[in-house]
Homo-oligomer: A and B are copies of this chain.
Amino acid sequence: MTPPAISRYPVPALADLPEDIRARILAVQEKAGFIPNVFITLAHRPAEFRAFFAYHDALMEKESGLSKAEREMIVVATSGANDCLYCIVAHGAILRIYAKNPLVADQVAVNHRKADITPRQRAMLDFAMKVAVDSPSITDLDFAALAAHGFFAEDAWDIGAIAAFFALSNRMANLIAMRPNEEFFLMGRVPRVK
C-alpha cells in the first residue's frame, strides 16, 4: 500500500535540495530521529523555505521572557482556533516535551480557558488568541491585561508575533494539506522509562 500523501504538492528528494536546505533538514533529522513533514514539504519552494524557517527561528529560538513551553502553548492554542491539524499535532508533541506534561497540549488545543496552566499563561493565551482571530480589535486594554501579569511591551510583541507567524503557517499547512508525521501523535505522551 502506498503511504498517504504528505502534501498536495511534489515532495522533493533530499538529494535534489540546495545544500543549505539539505543541511538544515539533516540536522533536524539527526536530532528528532525523523524528518518532520513541514521541512520536506515546504522545501518544494526553497526561497520560501528559507524565509519561513528564518522567521520561525527568530521567534521560537531567541532569548525571550517566554519559556519555550509557553511559546509552544501559543502555537497550539492558535492552531486549534485555526483548525490546523499539522500544527496541533506536531507542536502539541513539542509542547508536551518542553512542558514535561502529557496532557497540556490537548487541553490548550481545545480550550485554553480550562487548561492546567497558570493565570499568567491564560492571559498570554487570551492575548495570542485575539491576535489570531480578531486583531483589528486589539487596544491598549489588551496590553494592560498582559502587563497586569508581568508581560510588558516586548513580551507582547513576542506573543503577538508568534500568533501572527502561525496564522501564516496554519494557512500554508491547510493549503497544501500537510500531513503530520505519525511519530508526533505519540511523542511526549509516555513517560520515558530509564
Contacts and interface: CB of A to CB of B under 8 A. Distances in A.
A161 interface: yes
Interface in A96-116: 102-103, 106-107, 110-111, 113-114, 116
Interface stretch (A13-21, A29-37, A65-73, A171-179): A171-179
A24 interface: no
A164 B160 contact: no
A182 B89 CA distance: 18
A4 to B, nearest CB: 7
Contacts of A153: 8-9
B164 A175 contact: yes
Contacts of A168: 164-165, 167-168
Contacts of A143: 8
A73 B170 CA distance: 22
A157 B45 contact: yes
A106 to B, nearest CB: 6
Interface of A: 4, 8-9, 44-45, 47-48, 50-52, 54-55, 57-59, 62, 80, 82-85, 88-89, 102-103, 106-107, 110-111, 113-114, 116, 131-132, 135-139, 143, 153, 156-157, 160-161, 163-165, 167-172, 174-177, 182, 185-186, 189-190
